[in-house]
Amino acid sequence: MSEVPANQAPELLRRLLRAKDRIDAAPQQDWPVRRLARVSGVSAAHFARSFKLAFGVPPHRYLLTCRIERAMALLRDTDLPVTEIAFQSGWESLGTFGRTVRDVTGDSPSEFRARVRGAACGLARVPSCVVRATQRPPLTMAVSEKRRRAGDGIKRVRKTRRQA
Amino acid sequence: MSQGVAVVGLYVRDQEEALKFYVEKLGFRVHTDVRNGDYRWLTVQHPEQPSFQLGLFAPGPPVHDAATAQTLRAVVAKGAMPPLVMSVSDCRAACERMRAAGVEFTQEPVDRYGTVDAGFRDPAGNGWKLIEAR
């Protein structure tokens, strides 16, 4: 019990939850820390740390999981073109969108779409926010970070080879 | 008598605040409000559901020690309690009415699988879905 971050006051947590709810409601929007901090009524300097302490992920990564969930749901449940889905779920670049979906699902957006088409119809009786919460990918590290590390690995191997 | 679930309780941060919210903003009625020292047993009722009471309980003494109460309040304030669902005949109309009363919506009404649903929270952080009955 002592490891529970009991130092965060319920009043603060409730205000941080408001920011999290706003991300959930509109993950396609831009959510710079300053804007989220304003929703929570805390300083931008404290927001990211407090959010991570409360919810276990930094706000930008939480936003990313929401965008990925949105995109995956639109790929699964609609006939919208991939470009439109990327735009509607908050990506400005189709290339980044494609790479992120591949990093998370192992497939390109259109491959993912073909694989999961119509798969979630059994969840029709579950409230949508619950479905969305269950389908956010569990990102233990930022996707970009994962890619960077993978990239570093490759570079390191190359360097080692060169040295050898 | 009818058998079945009679009371389900929520944890709220402040019972007075919760009472105002559920009665004044959502239109519930007080069913039972009794005190014994620090303890207050408070239940409200949906006007169309006389056999069910929603308990609005505050974590704290004499039921909980300080650390447990703090944990419970934190869990509620983080929105980590299980989902609650309220059935309405017209989701959009209910939203408008509730918004006018000052309810904070977390999800605008959306059409989904032939029905409409929306989401809001009580002041403590308990999350409700408002789902149009089919």
> What is the chain B residue with the closest CA to A124?
B113
How close, in Å, is residue B77 to chain A by CA atoms? 5
* Residue A89 near residue A67 (C-beta atoms within 8 A): yes
Judged by CB atoms closer than 8 Å, whether chains meet at A129 and B71 is answered as no
ipTM value: 0.93
Judged by CB atoms closer than 8 Å, whether chains meet at A11 and B107 is answered as no
Q: How confident is the model at residue A144 (pLDDT cuts 50, 70, 90)?
A: low
Query: How far lies A32's CA from each of A37, A39, A49, A60, A143, in Å?
Result: 9, 11, 14, 8, 18
pLDDT in tens, B94-120: 999 999 999 999 999 999 878 999 999
Q: Which pTM does this prediction carry?
A: 0.85
pLDDT at A145 over 80: no
SS (H, E, C) chain A: CCCCCCCCCHHHHHHHHHHHHHHHHCCCCCCCHHHHHHHHCCCHHHHHHHHHHHHCCCHHHHHHHHHHHHHHHHHHHCCCCHHHHHHHCCCCCHHHHHHHHHHHHCCCHHHHHHHHCCCCHHHCCCCHHHHHHHCCCCCCCCHHHHHHHHHHHHHHHHHHHHHC
B32 interface with A at CB cutoff 8 Å:
no
> What is the chain B residue with the closest CA to A21?
B106
Q: How confident is the model at residue B1 (pLDDT cuts 50, 70, 90)?
A: low
**CA B45, B51, B54 angle in degrees (round to 5)?**
35
Question: Which of A5, A16, A24 is nearest residue B106 as measured by Cβ atoms?
Answer: A24
pLDDT in tens, A147-162: 666 665 444 444 444 4
